Amino acid sequence: MALMLKDIYTRLLERGHKLTPQRWAIIAIFLMNRGRHLSADDVFAMLRETHPNNGIATVYRTLELLEEIDVLKKLDFGDGRARYEVRDDDNHHHHHLVCQQCGKITEFEDDLLIALEAAIHKKTGFQITEHVAKFYGVCAECQQKAENG
């Protein structure tokens, strides 16, 4: 099921953290932008609109905290900055398709990697806890543009 505010609140309190206005605002930004992959600077810019005197350091700390309590998932698309997305219980196995033309990032659901993980464990004894899979190429739209151009 989708992650709710109540869950986040509970997780924070369980670990002895406070629900400050800054954290509240940053959580809201992510909940209002589900499906997007926000960088610290993206969040900072959005936060500034409503909280003009928030510091960037707080954004970084909050992102780190939200990752620790499994609210956010840290992503790396190789563009030199970390990005984050909401980690719902039901989005556990989607992969990212990065278009090298327009930079757009789409998602793809598939559990084929589970089979691969099983094969790896069988052959090497390696116990996998997490995987990262990214695919680089050209999205359907950019292919069409290239044909028509």
Partner DNA sequence: ATAGTAAACGAGAATCATTCTAAATACAAG
Partner DNA sequence: CTTGTATTTAGAATGATTCTCGTTTACTAT
Given DNA, its own copies, none, residue 53, with its beta carbon under 5 to 8 Å by kind, binds DNA
Geometric angle at alpha carbon 60, from 5 and 44, rounded to 5°:
80
CB within 8 Å of 41: residues ≥ 6 apart? 56, 81
Tokens, residue 106: 């789409």
Per-residue binder mask for its own copies (CB under 8 A), 97-116, x = binder: x-xx-----x-x-x-xx-xx
Are 88 and 81 within 8 A, CB to CB? no
Given its own copies, DNA, none, residue 124, with its beta carbon under 5 to 8 Å by kind, binds its own copies
Task: State which of residues 57, 102, 114, 119 lies at the interface with DNA (CB under 7 A).
Answer: 57
Are 32 and 38 within 8 A, CB to CB? no
56 forms part of the interface with DNA (CB under 7 A) = yes
Beta carbon of residue 69, minimum distance to DNA (angstroms, whole number): 11
Task: State which of residues 2, 17, 102, 118 lies at the interface with DNA (CB under 7 A).
Answer: 17
78 forms part of the interface with DNA (CB under 7 A) = no
How many Cα atoms are found within 13 Å in the side-chain-facing hemisphere of 114? 6
Task: State which of residues 41, 89, 107, 141 lies at the interface with DNA (CB under 7 A).
Answer: 41
Tokens, residue 107: 């998602």
Kindly state the number of chain residues that form the binding site for its own copies, as judged by CB under 8 A.
Answer: 35
Task: State which of residues 127, 147, 148, 149 lies at the interface with its own copies (CB under 8 A).
Answer: 127
Sequence-ordered strand ranges (E) for 11-68: 38-39
